[in-house]
Amino acid sequence: MEELNFDHLRTIATGGPTPLFATVSGAHLYGFPSADSDVDLRGAFVLPIREVIRLREPVETLTVTRTVGGVEVDWVAHDVRKLQTELLVQQRGARPPGSASERSLLSIKRKLDQAKPSPREGEIVKP
Protein backbone atom coordinates (compact mmCIF):
# COMPACT_ATOMS: atom_id res chain seq x y z
CA MET A 1 0.00 0.00 0.00
CA GLU A 2 1.33 3.44 -0.93
CA GLU A 3 1.75 6.24 1.58
CA LEU A 4 -1.23 8.57 1.95
CA ASN A 5 -0.94 11.81 0.01
CA PHE A 6 -1.93 14.33 2.66
CA ASP A 7 -1.91 17.21 0.16
CA HIS A 8 -4.67 15.44 -1.82
CA LEU A 9 -6.60 14.68 1.37
CA ARG A 10 -6.27 18.30 2.52
CA THR A 11 -7.64 19.50 -0.83
CA ILE A 12 -10.73 17.31 -0.43
CA ALA A 13 -11.29 18.24 3.23
CA THR A 14 -11.07 21.98 2.51
CA GLY A 15 -13.35 21.87 -0.55
CA GLY A 16 -16.43 22.83 1.49
CA PRO A 17 -16.81 24.55 4.84
CA THR A 18 -13.46 25.00 6.57
CA PRO A 19 -12.95 21.99 8.84
CA LEU A 20 -12.11 22.43 12.50
CA PHE A 21 -10.35 19.10 12.23
CA ALA A 22 -10.03 16.21 9.83
CA THR A 23 -8.79 12.75 10.71
CA VAL A 24 -8.02 9.60 8.78
CA SER A 25 -10.33 6.78 9.83
CA GLY A 26 -11.05 3.17 8.96
CA ALA A 27 -8.41 0.70 7.80
CA HIS A 28 -5.72 3.37 7.43
CA LEU A 29 -6.23 4.56 11.00
CA TYR A 30 -6.00 1.03 12.37
CA GLY A 31 -2.96 0.18 10.25
CA PHE A 32 -4.31 -2.58 8.02
CA PRO A 33 -5.22 -1.04 4.66
CA SER A 34 -5.24 -3.35 1.66
CA ALA A 35 -4.28 -2.44 -1.88
CA ASP A 36 -7.94 -1.72 -2.70
CA SER A 37 -8.82 0.14 0.54
CA ASP A 38 -10.48 3.50 0.24
CA VAL A 39 -9.40 6.36 2.50
CA ASP A 40 -11.93 7.44 5.09
CA LEU A 41 -11.69 11.04 6.31
CA ARG A 42 -13.87 12.25 9.17
CA GLY A 43 -14.12 15.69 10.70
CA ALA A 44 -16.14 18.64 11.89
CA PHE A 45 -16.94 22.16 10.70
CA VAL A 46 -18.95 25.17 11.84
CA LEU A 47 -22.00 26.05 9.78
CA PRO A 48 -22.14 29.65 8.57
CA ILE A 49 -24.62 31.72 10.62
CA ARG A 50 -26.86 32.27 7.59
CA GLU A 51 -27.36 28.49 7.42
CA VAL A 52 -28.18 28.19 11.12
CA ILE A 53 -30.77 30.99 11.36
CA ARG A 54 -32.82 30.27 8.26
CA LEU A 55 -36.23 28.62 8.43
CA ARG A 56 -35.17 25.31 6.85
CA GLU A 57 -33.12 22.77 8.77
CA PRO A 58 -29.44 23.15 7.86
CA VAL A 59 -27.45 20.39 6.24
CA GLU A 60 -25.41 19.20 9.21
CA THR A 61 -23.45 16.46 7.46
CA LEU A 62 -21.19 16.90 4.46
CA THR A 63 -20.38 13.77 2.44
CA VAL A 64 -17.96 13.80 -0.49
CA THR A 65 -16.63 10.77 -2.36
CA ARG A 66 -13.86 11.47 -4.83
CA THR A 67 -11.17 9.42 -6.55
CA VAL A 68 -7.72 10.96 -6.30
CA GLY A 69 -4.66 9.29 -7.77
CA GLY A 70 -6.62 6.07 -8.25
CA VAL A 71 -7.71 5.95 -4.60
CA GLU A 72 -11.31 6.53 -3.49
CA VAL A 73 -11.57 9.06 -0.67
CA ASP A 74 -14.71 9.34 1.48
CA TRP A 75 -14.89 12.64 3.39
CA VAL A 76 -17.66 12.87 5.99
CA ALA A 77 -17.86 15.89 8.28
CA HIS A 78 -20.50 17.05 10.74
CA ASP A 79 -21.40 20.48 12.03
CA VAL A 80 -20.10 20.92 15.59
CA ARG A 81 -23.64 21.39 16.89
CA LYS A 82 -24.54 17.93 15.64
CA LEU A 83 -21.38 16.45 17.16
CA GLN A 84 -22.06 18.19 20.47
CA THR A 85 -25.58 16.77 20.52
CA GLU A 86 -24.23 13.29 19.77
CA LEU A 87 -21.66 13.60 22.57
CA LEU A 88 -24.34 14.62 25.05
CA VAL A 89 -26.40 11.58 24.08
CA GLN A 90 -23.34 9.38 24.59
CA GLN A 91 -22.55 10.96 27.98
CA ARG A 92 -26.03 10.03 29.14
CA GLY A 93 -25.26 6.44 28.21
CA ALA A 94 -27.77 6.19 25.40
CA ARG A 95 -25.21 4.70 23.03
CA PRO A 96 -21.44 4.32 22.64
CA PRO A 97 -19.41 6.65 20.40
CA GLY A 98 -19.77 5.70 16.76
CA SER A 99 -17.74 7.64 14.25
CA ALA A 100 -14.06 8.46 14.44
CA SER A 101 -14.90 12.16 14.72
CA GLU A 102 -17.20 11.47 17.68
CA ARG A 103 -14.50 9.39 19.38
CA SER A 104 -11.92 12.12 18.71
CA LEU A 105 -14.09 14.81 20.26
CA LEU A 106 -14.93 12.60 23.22
CA SER A 107 -11.22 12.00 23.80
CA ILE A 108 -10.51 15.75 23.64
CA LYS A 109 -13.34 16.44 26.09
CA ARG A 110 -11.99 13.86 28.55
CA LYS A 111 -8.52 15.43 28.39
CA LEU A 112 -9.97 18.89 28.97
CA ASP A 113 -11.99 17.60 31.93
CA GLN A 114 -8.81 16.18 33.47
CA ALA A 115 -6.72 19.30 32.79
CA LYS A 116 -5.66 21.57 35.58
CA PRO A 117 -7.72 24.72 36.01
CA SER A 118 -6.52 27.73 34.04
CA PRO A 119 -4.40 30.21 35.95
CA ARG A 120 -6.13 33.34 37.14
CA GLU A 121 -5.38 36.59 35.38
CA GLY A 122 -1.99 37.89 36.47
CA GLU A 123 -0.98 34.58 38.08
CA ILE A 124 2.50 33.34 37.22
CA VAL A 125 2.70 29.69 36.25
CA LYS A 126 6.03 27.90 36.65
CA PRO A 127 6.82 25.24 34.02
**Taking Cα atoms as reference points, which of 119, 123, 84 lies closest to residue 102?**
84
Instruction: Give residue-wise pLDDT tens across range 25-50.
Output: 888 877 888 888 888 888 888 888 88
Instruction: Give residue-wise pLDDT tens across range 44-56.
Output: 888 888 887 888 8
Q: Residue 51: what pLDDT?
A: 82
Q: Residue 88: what pLDDT?
A: 75
pTM greater than 0.75 (yes/no): no
CA distance 78 to 90: 16
Name the 3-class secondary structure at 44. Answer: strand
Q: Sorting pLDDT into bands at 50, 70 and 90, what band is 23?
A: confident
The architecture of the domain spanning 6-113 is: 2-Layer Sandwich (3.30)
Strands 71-79 and 39-45: parallel
